[in-house]
Amino acid sequence: MTTTINGNANGRTNGAIADVGKAKDHVHIAIVGSGFSGLAMAHRLKKAGRSDFAIFEKANDVGGTWRDNTYPGIACDVPSNLYSFSFALNPNWSKSYSPGREINDYIRATAKKFGLLQFVRFNTAVEHAEWDEASNLWRIDTSQGPVTADFVIGGMGPLSEPQIPDLPGIEKFKGRTFHSQQWDHGYDLTGKRVAVVGTGASAIQFVPQIQKQVSELHLYQRTAPWVMPRSERKLTNFERRLYKYLPFTQRLVRGAVYSMLELRVVGFVKYQRIMRMIQPIAKAQIHRQIKDPELRKKVTPDYTIGCKRVLMANNYYPALEKENVEVITEGVTEVRENSIVAADGSEREVDAIIWGTGFYVTSNPGWDELIGRDGRSLTKTWESTGMESLLGTLVPNFPNLFMIVGPNTGLGHSSMVYMIESNVDYIERALKFAERVNAGSIEVKREAVDEFERTVMKRMDGTVWMSGGCASWYLDERGRNTTLWPGFTFQFRKACRNFDPAQLNVRDRDGSELVPTVGAGDAVAASA
């Protein structure tokens, strides 16, 4: 099966697209994915009076990550009042931290409210996209046929392609296996012997839920996560009514939450001693909720908090102390027909294996199907350097392509929706600029990306992610943190709003270089 650009749908089925000219199905702007990113971009375009775009969605509904992840106990770890579009606050959240289904309902309702569903092409996976230099357009293979587009905007998100380890014998296993993102709700776990591999953000949420059902739960932990108490509560009817009839009150709360979370950056980026001052809170929870000294030792991390993603839960540790749960700190080395084998040679018979092993963040297989101006895929482009871009959105040799929340836009402290809307700001400015100068293509200069990367990596030095003493999915195989933004989110937004045409190579529709009459640093106004 060939992985598609916008998720784990079937492989390519259409072959090559027409050799010359536009396909019968042509759109000015093709948006890939209908999660927070794709819908934020679509809303901005529609608000500007545009209708010359389409959203290509592999599934039959909007929602992205929150549609695909339906595992038991799924919830957000960002406060509800901050985890929403700035243009569509939700006064009806049930809790201070929203359940996953509630977030998906919100996304769906927002798309309907703002008239965005009419632009979505459901059940249409983008399987291959290639830049046609001669025609100045993108040629796109989809599961519903060929499409061409002047611009492509990738809103797939970094947590879209599940990663399952390639273990010896995995194909021989006779039981049931599935990744947490692809939860098999048709499989009854009641009374089953279950192995859970991984102890990341998903696992700490679903483990307490399935522990109550299974007869045995064998939890394979490679590295213990830091787990902080989750200060969750139900929102009162009074709060919901206040937010509904006096929306400014919710905006005030939203601003306060945002400011409070931004303070965490100081510990992550500048002063790690602040993070070490927080560790006792997490340790206290371990000692309070776990009595067994051996289990305490297993689940206590040996690195600075924040080096890996900080998790939040109140029911995870109590679940681990139950009689039917075993925590194994040796990695999995083999899968047999009816069992799973750890690195120490110990074997445990199981009926099902649930992979809580994360996603392809720094090496997404879908990049193989995105081909730039020089004929190389995004995978090949980043093969020697790792992920790199300008502001997480522009990549050299990929004209008229924008990414939303690409390299170095991830967060360990606040809402990704804020970063998404920042990228949308930049893209809108770039599109307006391209149209104003009648450009056939715009492409970021190599030197602009190099300068941006040097700045980001310099700021990354000394952060808790680089010197906290752990290995994490934040880092690529070279040990570079190409995932997170090393600073305040308002700094990123300011950078996105300072659109600079001097950082771009601009060509007219005949391929000749354009020298715009806009000076370096001149910003193109957007409708934000």
Note whether residue 140 is domain-resident. yes
Query: DSSP letters of 341-400?
Result: EETTS-EEE-SEEEE---B-SSS-GGGGGEE-TTS-BHHHHTTTT-S--BTTTB-TT-TT
> pLDDT at position 5, please?
66
| Whether residue 144 is found in the same domain as residue 211 | no
Tell me the chain's radius of gyration from C-alpha atoms: 24
Examine the fold and report which residue of 355, 380, 403 is the final residue of a domain before the chain moves on. Answer: 355
The region of weakest confidence among 175-184, 273-282, 349-358 is 273-282
Query: What is the band of 17 on the pLDDT scale with cuts at 50, 70, 90?
Result: very low
How buried is 293 (Cβ within 10 angstroms: 0-12 exposed, 13-18 middle, 19+ buried)? exposed
Could you give the CA distance from residue 56 to residue 427 in angstroms, rounded to a whole number?
18
| Whether residue 435 is found in the same domain as residue 399 | yes
- DSSP β-bridge partners for residue 143: none
Degrees (nearest 5) of the Cα angle 186, 60, 423? 115
CATH code assigned at 36 = 3.50.50.60
Note whether residue 15 is domain-resident. no
3-state secondary structure 504-527: EEEECCCCCEECCCCCCCCCCCCC
**Which range marks the domain in which residue 302 is found?**
170-225+263-355
| Whether residue 296 is found in the same domain as residue 372 | no
| Whether residue 120 is found in the same domain as residue 151 | yes
Could you give the CA distance from residue 325 to residue 203 in angstroms, rounded to a whole number?
14
Helix axes of 489-497 and 416-436: crossing angle, nearest 10 degrees: 10
Examine the fold and report which residue of 327, 355, 383 is the final residue of a domain before the chain moves on. Answer: 355
| Whether residue 179 is found in the same domain as residue 307 | yes
| Whether residue 192 is found in the same domain as residue 297 | yes
| Whether residue 147 is found in the same domain as residue 182 | no
SS3 152: strand
| Whether residue 316 is found in the same domain as residue 416 | no
Examine the fold and report which residue of 295, 328, 355 is the final residue of a domain before the chain moves on. Answer: 355
Residues 312-371 pLDDT 10s: 999 999 999 999 999 999 999 999 999 999 999 999 999 999 999 988 777 778 889 999
- The number of folded domains in the chain is 2
pLDDT over 60 (residue 20): no
Q: Is 99 in contact with 75 (CB distance < 8 Å)?
A: yes
Note whether residue 129 is domain-resident. yes
> pLDDT at position 311, please?
95
Q: Residue 21 — φ and ψ, nearest 5°?
A: 70, 180
pLDDT over 60 (residue 521): no
Structure tokens at 218: 């064998």
- Termini Cα distance of the chain: 41
How buried is 129 (Cβ within 10 angstroms: 0-12 exposed, 13-18 middle, 19+ buried)? buried
- DSSP β-bridge partners for residue 126: 142
pLDDT over 70 (residue 450): yes
Residues 62-94 pLDDT 10s: 999 999 999 999 999 999 999 999 999 999 999
Note whether residue 332 is domain-resident. yes
For 56, 111, 115, 266, the CA distances from 328, given in Å and listed in that order, are 42, 44, 50, 35
The region of weakest confidence among 12-26, 46-60, 216-230, 475-489 is 12-26
Note whether residue 238 is domain-resident. no
Could you give the CA distance from residue 53 to residue 149 in angstroms, rounded to a whole number?
9
Task: Give 76's contacts (C-beta < 8 A, 6+ positions apart).
Answer: 83, 97, 98, 99, 100, 103
| Whether residue 209 is found in the same domain as residue 143 | no
| Whether residue 306 is found in the same domain as residue 443 | no
pTM attached to this predicted model: 0.91
Residues 232-270 pLDDT 10s: 999 999 999 999 999 999 999 999 999 999 999 998 998
| Whether residue 423 is found in the same domain as residue 307 | no
Task: Give 161's contacts (C-beta < 8 A, 6+ positions apart).
Answer: 3, 7, 8, 359, 360, 364, 365, 366
